[in-house]
Structure 1
């Protein structure tokens, strides 16, 4: 069984069930499955064969759903990308990923025209129509160098039919290549197989008890693996309904809560912070939610407790990474949830904490989190040496420092690369950030290491405060009451906002680069 087979099975079993809501309209499972089949047929008529690579440059929309499942049903490998990436980043992924067909928003046509000369392997560009902004200039497509290769999503869908010959797809065939964020060097493409994606979606949905009565707010970016599995694939394989949100905003989420009776919301900590801080939001608006899911980054315990108390809904924090499709742990729903923990291993997935020799460390000790299971990628695309350095004896080395308690709950301490060493002592940024988030005037905080001539490194904190009177001295004094002296921030910088990626995850790397700039 794979994702597209399961979609077809669900459409056959409950054809009139609503598959998704988007922009005031809804489509049934039968309509979605039919569109997927027709689009797959249209791709085949464009020359897409089993094993070809199809790139997606799309936001949250039915285009993404139909493009993703249609390409996989045609036997292709899908490469989702952030449409907000720069031409250089997109050009690299399209070239390195050997993409044959690009499915893109039409507003990105100037970008495609710019990168096209460096992409000799791209044979077709399929443009998805978007509402024109007032005053936006019209693009004369016939004057573009890529115009002979241009198609529209509507025309490709219309050219397809239901006599599709679905190629045989094996469990180990690559379904999706997800490029990592590339915090160091070039991004690497994690190859996720059909088995990887289906097993993780199935195991996550079992763990979190997804069912056909759920209505899942899909506000995370669909091109990101967190959304792909938790807020898209897992609901769909259970016949749930997606509420597709083009772009996250607190107002939209509360409006959805009032009008569409959602039962599940998935987001990163920054989203929960925005919802918590939104003055017009109330618990009554979100009363139908049975579960909130947090991932992508560690949620400060103070934020988790404040959110739960204000909105009277459980937040289950989990952990994952692209190379594991992505989920490896979640806080269970049938046992006590532990704030600050990423939970226990999900069904069919093993996690353990090891030392530098790969040996499991005693309970409570910090080491590197490693993962094993049917969800672990088969490797990095065209990078066998990187694959061998990341997957050893079937265990995926995550690069995250963690510890496990006596009941099997895991706690992320920090990224190995983010750890700060002050005079020989290890300082984990998250520990300092937890203290900062407890301050009543601080809404966002991040901590990085900066060079120090005496101690090697020092702790620097970046803060967003709702109190313009808050001073650096007051922040350090507050921290001194909760942290050992060597963990205290030696510098505090106030910003209007912290840099974030497309999912809302705070980018420590960008802050570290900012801190290194001469002032």
Structure 2
């Protein structure tokens, strides 16, 4: 079984069921499946074959779902790309990913006009119309570009809703997901049909996502967290997606009430924005049975404040692109442990090892490694990096973690983010947890900075709602909860922490702001 077949089966069995709501539109599973078949026919008509790569430069919309599943259905490999990346970042992925055709927002037409000669490998662009003047803009393209461009509506209207695709093998590459590139050039993680199908199924089972659920899709669909948890997992069982084009607390709360949402998934910064939204009340999330957090560590103080205000449990989990992505979640049928990423989901193994690859005991900090049907086949065109990441079937995550006696895992920090002060390990998350407990601090991030005496020192960046809060007060507060070597030596107040489009705090950008001593 694969995701394409699963969608087709759901359309046959529950064709009248609503697959998604988007703005003022909705579509049944039969309508969605028909659109996928039309796009599959259209992709083949422009020369896309099994094994070819199709770039998706799209935001949260039905265009993304239809294009993704159409690519999967014909046996092509989907390459989702953040549409607000810079032209250079987009061009790098299109070239490195050997992308043959692109489905893109009309907002990117200027980029297509400028870059089409520099990207000879891209033979065709399907452009999604989002504004009334798009047809005129397409018509105004010069003949050379026009030959390569098709309007999304025409791509669907010109094709049949019937389609019989090629046989798909479970080991065929279904998706290439480029890592966010916070360190060096992005790497393309190759995920097979088995990888993405098994992780969607196992996640849906572990979190009890069922046909009756209505899942808010505010996370960006081009990111692996959204791809599995709010898109593929609901579609596995005939659930309904509530698609929000762009995250905003107001839109999330309005959609939750209007469509009686039952599940919300977000990253910690989203939960912070929702919590801080002045007009929010418990009534806004009264239909929500479960909130899911991932993408970064969720501060415990934020978790408790959110749950208390909205009377809904947050299940924090863990994943990474190379694992499709989910490996752990806090279970729903037994104790949820604040600060933990939970236990291994069905069919996935996690363990903690030392630098020799030897498994460590409870409470010992080491590297988290993962094994299961969700682990990627490797990095695209990077055999050495693949060999370094996957050893004896285990994916080495680069995250430092520990496990308790009951099998719950706790992320300590990124291996690369650890600060070493005079030979002592300081985990940024430990300091950040303390900072988040301060009543005047909204957001905080900790990085290591060079220190002539101790090798490294702790610097924290703080977003405060109290303009009179001082560095001395912050350090004094931390001293009540942390050993002296863990205390920040520098406190910098800023208006907002830099984040990528998935809400992950960019520590590298913070380090770049640090002035040399």
Match of 2:423 in 1: 424
The 2-side partners of 1:71 and 1:321 are apart by 23
CA change 1:17–1:357 in 2 (3 A) is same
> Residue deviations 1:294-326, cap 9 Å, x none?
000000000000000000000000000000000
Match of 2:355 in 1: 356
The 1-side partners of 2:396 and 2:499 are apart by 25
The 2-side partners of 1:200 and 1:80 are apart by 18
Match of 1:338 in 2: 337
Match of 2:188 in 1: 189
Bigger CA drift: 340-349 or 112-121? Answer: 112-121
CA change 1:139–1:465 in 2 (3 A) is farther
The alpha-carbon deviation at position 118 of structure 1 amounts to 2.3
The 2-side partners of 1:106 and 1:145 are apart by 18
User: Structure 1: any 5+ residue segments left out of the alignment?
Assistant: none
The 2-side partners of 1:414 and 1:294 are apart by 17
User: Is contact 1:95-1:118 (8 Å) kept?
Assistant: no
Match of 2:122 in 1: 122
The alpha-carbon deviation at position 131 of structure 1 amounts to 2.4
**After the TM superposition, which residues 60-79 of structure 1 pair with which residues of structure 2 at under 5 Å, given as runs?**
60-79=60-79
The alpha-carbon deviation at position 138 of structure 1 amounts to 5.5
1:126 partner SS: strand
The 2-side partners of 1:50 and 1:124 are apart by 16
1:457 partner SS: strand
User: Is contact 1:87-1:114 (8 Å) kept?
Assistant: no
The alpha-carbon deviation at position 133 of structure 1 amounts to 9.2
User: Is contact 2:20-2:27 (8 Å) kept?
Assistant: yes
Match of 2:54 in 1: 54
User: Under a length normalisation based on structure 1, what TM-score does the superposition of the two structures give?
Assistant: 0.98
> Residue deviations 1:398-420, cap 9 Å, x none?
00000000000000000000000
The 2-side partners of 1:60 and 1:438 are apart by 34
1:117 partner SS: coil
The 2-side partners of 1:340 and 1:115 are apart by 46
**After the TM superposition, which residues 68-467 of structure 1 pair with which residues of structure 2 at under 5 Å, given as runs?**
68-131=68-131, 141-143=140-142, 146-467=145-466
Match of 2:44 in 1: 44
The alpha-carbon deviation at position 181 of structure 1 amounts to 1.0
User: Under a length normalisation based on structure 2, what TM-score does the superposition of the two structures give?
Assistant: 0.98
CA change 1:456–1:144 in 2 (3 A) is farther
User: Is contact 2:267-2:296 (8 Å) kept?
Assistant: yes
The 2-side partners of 1:144 and 1:489 are apart by 60
The 2-side partners of 1:390 and 1:147 are apart by 43
User: Is contact 1:113-1:144 (8 Å) kept?
Assistant: no
1:12 partner SS: helix
User: Is contact 2:35-2:161 (8 Å) kept?
Assistant: no
CA change 1:151–1:138 in 2 (3 A) is closer
The alpha-carbon deviation at position 226 of structure 1 amounts to 0.1
2:117 partner SS: helix
State the aligned residue count.
Answer: 516
Q: State the Cα RMSD in Å.
A: 1.4
2:10 partner SS: helix
The 2-side partners of 1:86 and 1:139 are apart by 22
Match of 1:477 in 2: 476
User: Is contact 2:216-2:256 (8 Å) kept?
Assistant: no
CA change 1:473–1:144 in 2 (3 A) is farther
CA change 1:132–1:464 in 2 (3 A) is farther
The alpha-carbon deviation at position 111 of structure 1 amounts to 1.5
2:147 partner SS: helix
Match of 1:15 in 2: 15
1:118 partner SS: coil
The 1-side partners of 2:114 and 2:419 are apart by 41
The 1-side partners of 2:271 and 2:320 are apart by 20
The 2-side partners of 1:436 and 1:132 are apart by 48
Match of 2:32 in 1: 32
